[in-house]
Structure 1
Amino acid sequence: MAFEGKILPIVIHGDPVLHKRAAEVEEINDEVRQLVADMHVTQEAARGVGLAAPQVGVGLRIFTWEFEHTGDAPRKGEVLNPVLTLLGKVSQEDPDPETETEGCLSVPGLGYPLKRADHVRLQGFDIDNNPIDFEAHDWFARILQHEYDHLNATLYVNRLNPRWGKRWKKELRKQGWTTAGNTWMPGDDNDPFGHDEEESETADR
């Protein structure tokens, strides 16, 4: 039975669900199947490359992804109860703002440079309880680390070095993202990362 997904609001930094370790999926039931379908639709509407269940307000260990350059791994998928192993080292050098800037749907409209491992292994299960086990490199490895962090109550802004962390904390005070209840709705609200403007500029040419 296929579940038709619907767009869910995305929770913004400050909500407790983002700052508490997500719980294991105990059973793959219709509620979980519906959640995964909703997550895929929400991620697509938000033009994201990954989405974790806590980002739609559900504290379960699930994330989805869709990315073109995945090597031998699926370009689109989901993982339940993942285990992520770093196979590459994280450099202690300063991150490159041109090539290593991350964004997050739960920190809308912002981006900061961050060093990540360039090689990881992902294990877990898909929505049909089939085992997942593959390695990822480069930007795909970054995506998987980013989403896995969400399940452990870590946002990428929590990992910034002192220079970029200072800028983030200043922006956090400005935005007031310190309490529960802040969300944005893909498809209804303006895209915080400017994709709507990019499409408009393309259409005008």
Structure 2
Amino acid sequence: MKSLSHKVLTLWDEISLTEEETRILRTPSADIPLPLSREALEQIQTLVDAFLELDGALGLAAPQIGINRKIVIFRNKGFDEEGWSKKEKDYDLLINPRITQTRGEPVKGTEGCLSCPEIQVEVYRFPEIKVRAYDLKGNRISKRYEDFLARIAQHELDHLDGRLIVDYEGTVYFPKEKKSFFERILARIP
């Protein structure tokens, strides 16, 4: 069995901002044409494979691995488990997702992101959303997400518009020993 080992793009590395990766992460994604072509199915499978390689990840959006298409994948249970089952029923894969309804007053929560390593940001999210998307067979689906799952879905859908947690106004938390690095980096984020 070959090891795929997909690289997750980040806004910065250990030294500075990553211009090319930032450009890709900041580019709004395009819809996947339907019916799904062989190329689209390959892109979707690449995202699924990359997500399943990441034990600690709650979700992943296609732009995070360099595919500027509207595809997201995220766990729908087992959020506290490191070694979660990774079975198809334990994650949602959404193609061309759109939030069609929001409910409730936005709630503050602290979020991390694979593309913004070592930091967490306080972000306000709706506690309930409805999403319209397509599944792997090209069928139109509608899903309702609440609470933590709604937060995860909104976070992943933000990636499709080139938006990341650093774009929110909330408090940013980072390791104290890297204070000067993050103050410098965060001041320069496009």
TM-score in same-fold range (> 0.5): yes
| Residue of structure 1 aligned with 2:169, choices 139, 160, 181 | 160
Partner of 1:19: 26
Q: Distance in 2 between matches of 1:145 and 1:169?
A: 30
Query: Where do residues 52-67 of structure 1 align in structure 2 (5 Å cutoff)?
Result: 52-67=61-76
| Residue of structure 1 aligned with 2:152, choices 143, 149, 158 | 143
SS in 2 for 1:144: helix
For residues 150 and 142 of structure 1, do their structure 2 counterparts lie closer, same or farther at Cα, with a shift above 3 Å needed? same
Give the deviation of 1:172 after TM superposition. Answer: 6.1
- Describe the superposition over 1:160-183 as per-residue Cα deviations: whole angstroms up to 9, x where unpaired: 33x439x9997263489859xxxx
For residues 11 and 134 of structure 1, do their structure 2 counterparts lie closer, same or farther at Cα, with a shift above 3 Å needed? same
| Residue of structure 2 aligned with 1:111, choices 97, 120, 127 | 120
Query: Where do residues 39-118 of structure 1 align in structure 2 (5 Å cutoff)?
Result: 39-46=47-54, 47-68=56-77, 75-91=90-106, 95=108, 100-118=109-127
- Describe the superposition over 1:45-71 as per-residue Cα deviations: whole angstroms up to 9, x where unpaired: 22211111110011111111123169x
Give the deviation of 1:151 after TM superposition. Answer: 0.5
**Could you state the TM-score of these two structures normalised by the residue count of structure 2?**
0.74
| Residue of structure 1 aligned with 2:184, choices 166, 170, 173 | 173
Q: Distance in 1 between matches of 2:163 and 2:122?
A: 16
* Unaligned residue ranges in structure 1 (runs of 5+): 180-205
Partner of 1:8: 6
* Aligned sequence identity (%): 23
Q: Distance in 2 between matches of 1:90 and 1:106?
A: 27
Aligned residues: 166
- Describe the superposition over 1:72-111 as per-residue Cα deviations: whole angstroms up to 9, x where unpaired: xx531211111113422444x7x3xxxx211111112221
For residues 177 and 134 of structure 1, do their structure 2 counterparts lie closer, same or farther at Cα, with a shift above 3 Å needed? same
Letter in 1 for 2:150: A
**Could you state the TM-score of these two structures normalised by the residue count of structure 1?**
0.69
- Describe the superposition over 1:150-204 as per-residue Cα deviations: whole angstroms up to 9, x where unpaired: 111111220133x439x9997263489859xxxxxxxxxxxxxxxxxxxxxxxxx
Q: CA RMSD in A?
A: 3.2
Higher relative CO (Cα under 8 Å, sequence separation at least 6) belongs to 1
SS in 2 for 1:143: helix
SS in 2 for 1:115: strand
SS in 2 for 1:55: helix
SS in 1 for 2:125: coil
Letter in 1 for 2:128: H
Q: Which runs of 4+ in 1 moved over 4 A?
A: 167-170, 174-179
Letter in 2 for 1:18: L
For residues 30 and 5 of structure 1, do their structure 2 counterparts lie closer, same or farther at Cα, with a shift above 3 Å needed? farther
Give the deviation of 1:6 after TM superposition. Answer: 3.6
